[in-house]
Structure 1
């Protein structure tokens, strides 16, 4: 016996609302230096390049200075700073959300595959390496202090209060 009966007959609608990408914060502009707050590169300073269709931010280290490759970052995980670098002449039309999609590989299901150790490291595709070099080559940082600023990590130390800091 069922102990609960619905009071009305209803059907759940199958129409889902279209997700809208996040709007870019007003204080973030292309070429601006951001501080990453989470993830593998936490505390590193990166250069904002553009906002992707999904609403994520496209950033780069440059890779030679601090080891941060082209990445997609949610803007909630960043702190914008007042320092910016000119990014005129960058062609970022080839870098979209599809650029970061992982290739689908079919796994062969067999008993032998079950017992084989999975110790192979996946290599970065060549087109991503080429895009990284091309974009980092166009970013011109001539000031030595800006290079040092980008290569150092942001840390809170004794006596530093986040609500009193000016970025």
Structure 2
């Protein structure tokens, strides 16, 4: 049914021609009828009435047909639908048909060098017309932007910003600033250290101090710390603000150019603390040590921090009170 819309314009022309021809026929046929029929009626039945009514009917019919309007678009659509449905036309079919018909009516001719997207949008100047070389007649469409000669096997992935919001991880209530903790894993496992603060990334900042048990300022996950009942008052001094997660990132040194004979040689990357970290370590250690010296049991605390934690015979971790 909707395929008939392609011949929609042809049907419009036929219906227009029908409307134009009808008044012309009326003008030619009616005088002939009047000339043949009226005298016969006048001789037999009612001569007076025939003379009066004939000109009145001709005068009434002629202007009506001469002033007939062209069929509207809606009437043309109904005319097409009646071909396929002799009985009542379903409402769904009418709605769908009207939508397609409107698109076909509004459709404009696309000029050379333009591409149609949908029913209305046009992409201008995608192509330009060029005469075919070596021929007097004939043109061809040439794209304005030439297609690339090489297509990569895999497209490059675009860098997209990370949408993960890093929220502050809570530290358990037993870990407060100044609490002495036992490290359970890593290079310094078994050492007793001082908890300084919780970092935004969720790790804990600790220190030995370095002068007492050679444990520097470092980050440790809270699952590898056991909090003890011993606490040192460090509230009177503040930890530098620039000591955060970014502060502990390692900076990769630039690789030197390889020389001849260095192809198979592999050197281990040695880590050396920066001058800034050495200064910060000295400041924090000095404050922690001075806080321990204020305590009356300072000798016991220094000895406790300097010794390693270990389980001996008859010591059960689930029964210990740290």
The answer to whether 1:92 aligns with 2:247 is no
The list of structure 1 runs, each at least 4 consecutive aligned residues, that deviate by more than 4 angstroms after superposition, is none
- The Cα shift of 1:121 comes to 3.7
2:268 & 2:226 partners in 1: Cα distance? 37
1:99 & 1:55 partners in 2: Cα distance? 15
The answer to whether 1:127 aligns with 2:276 is yes
- The Cα shift of 1:22 comes to 2.6
1:67-113 CA distances to partner (integer Å, 9 max, x unpaired)?
10001000000000010111121233121111111112232453544
**CA 1:17/1:119 → structure 2, altered by over 3 Å: closer, same or farther?**
closer
**CA 1:33/1:94 → structure 2, altered by over 3 Å: closer, same or farther?**
same
- The Cα shift of 1:117 comes to 5.2
1:116-145 CA distances to partner (integer Å, 9 max, x unpaired)?
452674322111111100000111212110
- RMSD, aligned α-carbons: 2.1
Of 11, 31, 36, which residue of structure 1 is paired with 2:178? 31
Q: 5+ unaligned residues in a row in structure 1: which ranges?
A: 1-14
Q: Which has the higher contact order (CA 8 A, sep 6+)?
A: 1
Match of 1:8 in 2: none
**CA 1:136/1:145 → structure 2, altered by over 3 Å: closer, same or farther?**
same
1:20-41 CA distances to partner (integer Å, 9 max, x unpaired)?
4431101110000010000011
SS at match of 1:34: strand
State the TM-score, normalizing by the size of structure 1.
0.83
Match of 2:192 in 1: 45
Higher helix share: 2
Aligned length, in residue pairs: 154
**CA 1:48/1:123 → structure 2, altered by over 3 Å: closer, same or farther?**
same
1:29-66 CA distances to partner (integer Å, 9 max, x unpaired)?
00000100000110100000011111100000000100
Larger radius of gyration: 2
Do 1:27 and 1:80's aligned partners in 2 also have CA atoms closer than 8 Å? yes
Q: 5+ unaligned residues in a row in structure 2: which ranges?
A: 1-161
SS at match of 1:76: helix
